[in-house]
Amino acid sequence: MKSFKMNENNASKVAELMATIRPQWWPSYDDAYGQLTDIHESIGTVGWYLGEDENHPKGWILCRELKGFSAIELECSGYDDNGIFKLEHKLKELFEVASEYARSKGYSIFRTGMSSRDFNIHGKPIDSVPKAIENLQSDRIDYKWLLDYGFRVIGIQPNAYEKNYHLIIFAKEL
């Protein structure tokens, strides 16, 4: 066997294979071909911002739609608190808008991530992800806000940004 890079010239052959051997819950040929050749079939981008008017943004959130996972995922966000960058806790209104949008699309999960800065695991190697999640601690206001808002830690990606600089992964059921 050899491996070949998929491209627009051969994706139809792979879509045909997918449609031929698929279980009932997998997509048809047209869906498979779209998934293989058009990122918009599986991932989208949507965002919102706050401001006194449309010309003066004060904060934003940008989300990815993960259509195959029935989820929306926060890509990035920020809020200008008198010249100081703030995170999620200042953007509740936009989280509400994103959640309502996700529910209207039939998505059931809202996901996000946060760096390990100011967490007890930051700067340390992670030998056991489950143990690190169980013992996770931080006084970060944005972390506490996410938990209060209904998000739960569902994972940690070790060394996501650099060695011993981890990503904490959250999800909230919609």
pLDDT exceeds cutoff 90 at 31: no
Question: How many Cβ atoms from other residues are within 10 Å of residue 110's Cβ?
Answer: 23
Task: Name residues whose C-beta falls within 8 Å of residue 44's C-beta, 6 or more positions apart in sequence.
Answer: 64, 65, 67
pLDDT bracket for residue 122 (50, 70, 90): very high
User: Looking at residue 90, what is its pLDDT?
Assistant: 84
State phi, psi for 53 to the nearest 5 degrees: -150, 175
Alpha-carbon torsion (77, 98, 39, 27), positive or negative: positive
Q: Which of 6-10, 87-91, 117-121 has the lowest mean pLDDT?
A: 87-91
* Tens-digit pLDDT profile for residues 49-71: 999 888 889 999 999 999 989 99
pLDDT exceeds cutoff 80 at 88: no
Alpha carbons 104 and 119: distance in angstroms, whole number: 35
What's the pTM?
Answer: 0.83
pLDDT bracket for residue 161 (50, 70, 90): very high
As given in the structure block, the two tokens for residue 103 are 């529910």
Mean pLDDT of 115-127: 97
Q: Judging by beta carbons within 10 Å of its beta carbon (0-12, 13-18, 19+), is residue 155 exposed, middle or buried?
A: middle
Residue listed under structure tokens 């209060």: 148
Percent of the chain with pLDDT over 90: 66
Which part of the chain is CATH 3.40.630.30? 43-173
Phi-psi region of 164 (alpha: psi -120 to 50; beta: other; left: phi over 0): left
pLDDT exceeds cutoff 80 at 97: yes
Q: Which amino acid is at 110?
A: F
Q: In the 8-state DSSP scheme, what is residue 138?
A: B
| DSSP bridge partners of 47 | 62
pLDDT exceeds cutoff 90 at 15: no
Give me the CATH topology for the region 43-173.
Answer: Aminopeptidase (3.40.630)
pLDDT exceeds cutoff 80 at 33: yes
User: Looking at residue 98, what is its pLDDT?
Assistant: 97
